[in-house]
Amino acid sequence: MDKVVAEQVVAELKDALGDKQVLTGEAVHSRGAGIWRSDTIQAKALLRPRSTQQVSDALKICHAHGQSVVAHGGLTGLVESAITSEDDIALSLEAMDKIEEINTVDRTMLVESGVVLQRIQEAADDADMLFPLDLGGRGSCTIGGNISTNAGGNRVVRYGMVRDMVLGLEAVLADGTVVSSLSGMIKNNAGYDLKHMFIGSEGSLGVVTRAVLRLREKPKSEVTAFVASDEFEKLQQLLKRMDSGLSGRLSAFEVMWNNFYRLVTTPPAKQTPPLSQDYPYYVLIELLGGDQEGDQALMESLLAECLEGGVIVDAVLASSGAQRQALWAMRDDVEQLQRLGAGCTFDVSMRVSHMQTYVDEVNARMGRDFQHYDLITFGHMGDGNLHFYASVGSYSPEIRHRIEAAVYEPLAAIGGSVSAEHGVGLEKKPWLGICRSPDEIALMQRLKRALDPTGILNPGKIIDAESRHCEIPFINA
């Protein structure tokens, strides 16, 4: 797009939205590009619409000129899905941050996309309800971003992904068409459930502007335990024992390998180790129920059985809210990973039965390719989701590629996925063929062309709209 046309696009956007809602120049470039990034946003303009109608007006203008648009939420994503260039328009939903309605009879909440997740959690709590989505970035991520990536987090084992928490949504297509399906019903089998096209699509099929969220009744009890085990196979036994013994009330089963636990409980980390740092595995277990005293006793009884049976080797049971928060603070303190220097973050998924052999294979490949490496391992074992932070002491595109090959290639043989909850963006796009067939990718491309025929929405992310095949840059062992 030449300079004259670009200036015309920005001028039309200012006329439609107002000068204050269209930022340019230093007002754009002074903003950080995302979490853990040192660069700033590069875009010809950043839009801050205040309503769905303004989003529609903006996209109509951009569609008419073939202007690329990248939607922005809280910029907490880790796969470069919201990265822009000087040729793009950034569309931030930050000014659309209203909680419009809380209905405790229907157990729903109507929100705009720019509402920060923690505000939603707190508003639900104030209404004596629960919005169960919870993740470390709760204080800065937005519900629109959560929807765009189908976020998971700490309680998937009981409540599912975001897809299971959205009853309806409103989205604006590339040409400005508003698709509004703000149903508050749990069941609606009248034709295609269109909301699912937009959930997890990373803003590539439409811009989500509002959503009806599903609330749950607020638990009357919360019990948190932290345990250590000496064998991974025993963790599998522990998961089954806890899920069965808690009769469906298990809400979190978070596993930390020794290297992650040491990192988050050794200064300058603020948390002190509640258990010895010498065990190979640690698990944070959460029960949400209806009887604090009874549930606490049940958890204590189950832990005693597991200790006696050798499934675990040590355990602590939180006896107060402050102790529960301290245990969760360890799991949430992922910022400590930055102490290792430049590295690569990963979130992958697989069946639990494959998890240990997969981790062993990744470590073997890393050890073969690099003289020294750190592979910090933790994750949501209860739903088959692992996180890695890999660092080898230096960084370059070639080194990153070798690390990615070590992590992603073994997933093909076990039917795993290169993305559990963070999306695809640019980072995982070359590896999509690991877990999606050519026919699946071709269908994604057909959907993209149908809903965004000129390809203006988050172009280049997830898939290439025109190419049928996704070539995987394998590095042969």
**Are 212 and 232 part of one and the same domain?**
no
User: Is residue 472 predicted with pLDDT exceeding 80?
Assistant: no
Chosen domain end from 35, 64, 92: 92
Report if residue 469 sits inside a domain: no
Question: Domain containing 14 — which CATH number?
Answer: 3.30.43.10
User: Is residue 475 predicted with pLDDT exceeding 80?
Assistant: no
In degrees and rounded to multiples of 5, residue 205 shows phi and psi of -115, -20
Residues 54, 174: Cα–Cα separation, whole Å: 13
**Total structural domains in the chain?**
4
**Are 242 and 352 part of one and the same domain?**
no
Residue 237, classed as helix, strand or coil, is helix
Question: Domain containing 313 — which CATH number?
Answer: 3.30.70.2190
Report if residue 473 sits inside a domain: no
Residue 5 confidence (pLDDT): 76
Give pLDDT tens digits for 218-253: 999 999 999 999 999 999 999 999 999 999 999 999
**Are 395 and 422 part of one and the same domain?**
yes
H or E element at residue 295: helix 292-308
Residues 359, 205: Cα–Cα separation, whole Å: 34
**Are 183 and 196 part of one and the same domain?**
yes
Take residue 290 and report the two structure tokens written for it.
């209806």
Query: Can you tell me the mean pLDDT for 206-223?
Result: 98
Cross-strand bridge partners of residue 22:
47
With tokens 């070798």, the residue in question is 402
**Are 386 and 303 part of one and the same domain?**
no
Give pLDDT tens digits for 399-425: 999 999 999 999 999 999 999 999 999
Report if residue 41 sits inside a domain: yes
User: Is residue 6 predicted with pLDDT exceeding 90?
Assistant: no
Question: Domain containing 107 — which CATH number?
Answer: 3.30.465.10
Report if residue 475 sits inside a domain: no
pLDDT band at 458 (very low <50, low <70, confident <90, very high): very high
Chosen domain end from 335, 370, 392: 335
**Are 227 and 176 part of one and the same domain?**
no
Report if residue 301 sits inside a domain: yes
Residue 142 confidence (pLDDT): 98
Contact 341, 390 (CB under 8 A): no
| 153: DSSP letter | B
Question: Domain containing 365 — which CATH number?
Answer: 3.30.70.2740
Of 146, 198, 193, nearest to 171 by C-alpha is 198
For residue 32, give its domain range.
3-92
Report if residue 370 sits inside a domain: yes
**Are 317 and 225 part of one and the same domain?**
yes
User: Is residue 376 predicted with pLDDT exceeding 70?
Assistant: yes
Of 247, 254, 245, nearest to 224 by C-alpha is 254
Residue 473 confidence (pLDDT): 41
User: Is residue 387 predicted with pLDDT exceeding 60?
Assistant: yes
Report if residue 170 sits inside a domain: yes
With tokens 């932290």, the residue in question is 226
Residues 288, 253: Cα–Cα separation, whole Å: 12
**Are 383 and 279 part of one and the same domain?**
no
Quote the mean pLDDT of the chain: 95
User: Is residue 37 predicted with pLDDT exceeding 90?
Assistant: no
Report if residue 169 sits inside a domain: yes
Residue 466 confidence (pLDDT): 64
**Are 377 and 424 part of one and the same domain?**
yes
Query: Can you tell me the mean pLDDT for 422-440?
Result: 96
Query: Can you tell me the mean pLDDT for 304-328?
Result: 97
**Are 330 and 394 part of one and the same domain?**
no
> Could you give the angle at the alpha carbon of 426 between the alpha carbons of 422 and 429, nearest 5°?
85
**Are 74 and 121 part of one and the same domain?**
no
**Are 110 and 155 part of one and the same domain?**
yes
Strands 45-47 and 89-92: parallel
Chosen domain end from 308, 335, 362: 335
